[in-house]
Structure formats: structure tokens, C-alpha cells
Amino acid sequence: MTSIPIRRALLSVSDKTGIIDLGQALARHGVELVSTGGTAKALRDAGLDVRDISNLTGFPEMMDGRVKTLHPKVHGGLLAVRDDPAHVASMAEHDIGAIDLVIVNLYPFAQTVAKGADRPEIIENIDIGGPSMVRSAAKNHAFVAVVTDPSDYTALISEMDSSGGATTIELRKRLAARAFAATAAYDGMIASWFGFADQGEAFPETLPITLKRSASLRYGENPHQSAAFYSATGPHAKGIGQARQVQGKELSYNNLNDADAALELIAEFRDAAPSVVIVKHANPCGVASAATLEEAYAAAFACDTVSAFGGIIALNRRLDEATARAISGIFTEVVVAPDADEAALAIFAAKKNLRLLLTGDLPDAARTGLQAKSITGGWLVQTRDNGATPELKVVTKRAPTPAELADCRFAWTVAKHVKSNAIVYAKDGSTAGIGAGQMNRLESARIAAWKAKDAADKAGWTTPRTIGSAVASDAFFPFADGLLAAVEAGATAIIQPGGSIRDDEVIAAADEAGLAMVFTGMRHFRH
């Protein structure tokens, strides 16, 4: 049968959003309502006639409600194949009535974990009867409809209204798919909690990844690729996926990827002076901190005025009018900020294609978590690169001045977010030149210096900002040639991880050039 009339419905929900309207719609079609505990009370309080589950099963709810729906009269009514004579005979023999509709959403496990509940409360919020009913109903979707999300109530009511109280196989198949996805996500969250939080495993033997589609995107990295955005279903840090889009066209795959890169970098400056990050193709092309956001934007923009066109901008402060006006001077794809004042919103309103995302806060750059990347036949999983700048070791005869040391730390923070091989020159709290994604470190150093000279030529400066700058390398210099390129560009201080078999050679070259160099003992590859 493709169309099944609904005569009996079982309702048991933790989230009671819309349940009264649904109950009234079902009653309007003459559906018998069977319910449990708090759901039954809510329906009765609304004046609806409800049959208790214990009346259906002939068995009382017990053990604080743990045992109420785990009964043959429930699961027999859900799993029976209605056109199988043997199943029909068993139903008659054991007085099992058919259940045509199940409305269930599960105990709030994720919310319980997120609020910091203790272990007994978390365990108590592992639903058993709910998933069992959902799976039974979804398996038998040829005859039974199952709804696990209140957002689907409208579609169910609409179909019943248009078909005399029945459901079609098309709707039941769609609802069954959503139901199995819901139980898979639910079990995945529980398994993750047991593995990570309860057992303290860094990498559990099985890693459930449960995601929910938040948006279908116009295309992927290229127009011939399809794409969608999925957000994590369990507790997670707020980020681009949870930001409020105030204006502009819908976000593309590349917009989301680049905006995430910008947000991750600006998060490093969450507690710093007003700071601005400009990102292009997931690499920073300009970063600066200053007394005001407007000044920080001007310094970041000056680092690479060409790449900034069509870029992504992230701020660590509330967007103000002056900064919004400055940003509006060129085409910008996306601006990410914790908030924006009314004057800034008014300025951006004239830029219809500019997307403005307000995050409400910036994520903690030091937070823990895992990162995953798909490869052929599997996934690579690692912990986040949340390593803070460790205690620095001076390895040259000359130690850096306080100003050089500050620039070293700034350049090192930015280099952490530049695709390897990464070289970052910085001076007075802003980037001077950035070399990214080259196959050797020497070329990155040369490209960064060339970009700094080009920026100086465009700005009309007498010298590039690499003169007197600090330079950061995301990994050690395997040879002295990369360091010498930095010397040629005018750098006076270097920060790098160290650890090369030629460290002595590199240190000697730095001493000969009169440089100050510090080792971090930590690298920041980003592929």
C-alpha cells in the first residue's frame, strides 16, 4: 500500500515544541492518541483525549520511566507487516493493535553534556525506548510514519489534510531517512562522549562524525563541483557556521572556507589591541594591530593592496563607522566581526554584495578539538594546532631588543596561519610581507620580500617595511640561504623552531650578519 490512513499515533517527546498543534490536528482526523508521561499531560492539559501507554500495554511504567515503551504491544504494533497473513494472525492472537504514526524526539543528551551536568545525569539522559521506537517505525516505513523533528510536523499535517488523514509512501520514506539519521547522530554523540570525555581517549578506536546539513551551496571550489555546508550536531565551539549573516548574497564554499581561516587567525588576537586580518584564498595577505581598528585596517591593507581586493576581512572588535567606511573603499567579499554599530551597518547597507557576519564573540584560539581531512580510502585526524608561543631560546650572540621580540611574536602568530612553507616579515605590529605555500623556504622568503618592496612602491614609501623587521619561519631553515634572503630584505631578528642538522651553520650566518635569533622548539606546518 502506498497510502496508509493514520488511526493510532504514539507520541512521546522531550521537545514539546508544536506538540499541541500536532495533537489537535491528529484529533481532527479522528486519530487515537497514545502517549507517555509529560507528553500525555501536556496533551490532556490542552483538552485532548489521550490514552496512557500503560493502558495500551497492560503494564505500568516503572523504574522512573525507564521501562514504558519496551513492550511487544508497542513494537509488535510498529513492526508488523500489515499484508503478511502470519503477522496479522500474530497481532490478533496477542491482541496487538497497529500503530500507524510515531512522534518521538529523544532525551536531550547533547544539551545535558553542554550544560556541564555530572555523570549520573548525563547517563540518565541516554534515551533507550525512544530510539528503539524510532528504529522500529522507520524500518517498517511501508506501513508506519515516524517523525523525529518538530520541523516536520507541518508537512505531516499538510499531507493528512490533503489525503483524508493518510500518509503517502514518499513522505514515509523521507521521514524514515531522517529518523535513522537522527538515531545515528544521537548514538554518535553518546559514543563520542564516552570515548573523549568519560574515558579520556585522544583518539577513540571508532570515531563517529555526526553532521547536519545547514545549507546547500551554489557550488564548490569550482562551478562544476557541488557542495553543502554541514555543522556539528553535538557540543562544539561557535564559529563561522553559527555566525549571523546580516546582509549580502548567500555564502559560497570558498567564502566559508576563507572566512573560517580569517576567524581562526583573528581569534589569536582576541585579547590584543584592535586588530585586523585580511585573507585571500585561505592565506593571510595582511595583518595588523594598532590603536584603532581603522588604523589597523590601513596597516593590514598596505601590506598587499592587490591581494586584498575581493578578500575576507576579520576584526577583533565591534565594527565602527570609520573602519566600515575605510573597508568600503574596495570590493570585499566578506567581513567577520563580533558585532557592528548602527552607523557601520548603514554604510555596509549600500554594499549589497558584501556579506557581513557577526559572530557575537571570537573562538578561543587555545581550545582543544580535532581536525579531520578526507583522503582516498580514509580520513586523517589530528588535534588542533593550539600551541601557544613557548618560552623562547636566544641562540645568537645578540639578543633581540624588546621591539624586535614583540615583532617576532607577532610574526610567529601570523605564520601559524600561513600555508607552508611560510615566511612572515613583521614590523611595529603589522605584517610587512608574507610568503606562502612554496615548495622551498628560500622562495617563500624571496616572495615575501618582493611583496614588501612592491607594497612600498605602491604606497610611495622610501623603504619597504622589511627594513628593520622581524621574520618568522613556520619550520626550521634547512640551509642558511633562506636566512640570508631575509637579511638581504632588511630583517634584523628571526624567530624559527630550530631543530635542523644545520642549525649551527644557520646560527653562524645570523651571527655574522648581526641578527638576533630565537628558537621556539615548535613548528607550525599548515598544508
> Tens of pLDDT along 165-191?
999 999 999 999 999 999 999 999 999
Measured between alpha carbons, how far is 247 from 416 in angstroms, rounded to an integer?
A: 31
232 has pLDDT over 90: no
Q: What is the pTM of this model?
A: 0.87
User: Known catalytic residue: 139?
Assistant: yes
Q: Are 107 and 65 in contact (CB under 8 A)?
A: no
Q: What is the structure's pLDDT at 390?
A: 74
* Cell numbers 581586493: residue: 309
519 phi, psi to nearest 5 deg:
-105, 140
Average predicted confidence (pLDDT) for the chain? 92
List all residues 6 or more positions away from 229 whose beta carbon is below 8 Å from its beta carbon.
Answer: 213, 214, 215, 217, 241, 251, 253, 256
The answer to which of 141-145, 194-198, 496-500 has the lowest mean pLDDT is 194-198
Measured between alpha carbons, how far is 101 from 33 in angstroms, rounded to an integer?
A: 10
Q: What is the structure's pLDDT at 348?
A: 96
pLDDT over 90, % of the chain: 77
Q: What is the structure's pLDDT at 415?
A: 96
236 has pLDDT over 90: no
Q: What is the structure's pLDDT at 67?
A: 64
Band the pLDDT of 53: cuts 50, 70, 90: confident
* Digit-coded pLDDT (tens) for 453-510: 999 999 999 999 999 999 999 999 999 999 999 999 999 999 999 999 999 999 999 9
Tell me how far CA of residue 29 lies from CA of 7, 133, 259, in angstroms: 8, 23, 49
Chain centroid, CA 137 distance in Å: 32
Band the pLDDT of 120: cuts 50, 70, 90: very high
Per-residue pLDDT averaged across 154-174, rounded? 94
Listed residue (129, 133, 132, 66) closest to 99, CA to CA: 133
Bond into 257 cis (ω within 30): no
- Of 16, 29, 87, 139, the active-site residue reads 139
Band the pLDDT of 73: cuts 50, 70, 90: confident
Measured between alpha carbons, how far is 287 from 414 in angstroms, rounded to an integer?
A: 8
* Cell numbers 521537545: residue: 15
C-alpha dihedral, 254 to 256 to 259 to 263, nearest 10°: -140
* Digit-coded pLDDT (tens) for 294-327: 999 999 999 999 999 999 999 999 999 999 999 9
- Of 87, 173, 281, 351, the active-site residue reads 281
79 has pLDDT over 80: yes
Residue 498 half-sphere exposure, CB side, CA atoms within 13 Å? Answer: 17
Q: What is the structure's pLDDT at 64?
A: 67
Q: Are 290 and 437 in contact (CB under 8 A)?
A: no
Measured between alpha carbons, how far is 466 from 95 in angstroms, rounded to an integer?
A: 86
101 has pLDDT over 80: yes
Q: What is the structure's pLDDT at 3?
A: 87
Helix, strand, coil % in the chain, rounded to nearest 5? 40, 20, 40
The answer to which of 76-85, 118-127, 357-366, 399-408 has the lowest mean pLDDT is 76-85
pLDDT over 70, % of the chain: 97
Per-residue pLDDT averaged across 508-522, rounded? 96
Q: What is the structure's pLDDT at 404?
A: 97
Measured between alpha carbons, how far is 328 from 331 in angstroms, rounded to an integer?
A: 7
Band the pLDDT of 68: cuts 50, 70, 90: low
Q: Are 302 and 455 in contact (CB under 8 A)?
A: yes
Q: Are 53 and 69 in contact (CB under 8 A)?
A: yes
Measured between alpha carbons, how far is 96 from 80 in angstroms, rounded to an integer?
A: 9
Measured between alpha carbons, how far is 488 from 453 in angstroms, rounded to an integer?
A: 12
Q: Are 487 and 437 in contact (CB under 8 A)?
A: no
Sign of CA dihedral 75, 77, 78, 80: positive
User: Known catalytic residue: 281?
Assistant: yes
C-alpha cell of residue 466:
622589511
Q: Are 388 and 364 in contact (CB under 8 A)?
A: no
Neighbours of 216 (CB within 10 A): 10
Q: What is the structure's pLDDT at 167?
A: 94
Band the pLDDT of 66: cuts 50, 70, 90: low
Q: Does residue 436 sit in helix, strand or coil?
A: coil
Band the pLDDT of 206: cuts 50, 70, 90: confident
Per-residue pLDDT averaged across 91-114, rounded? 89
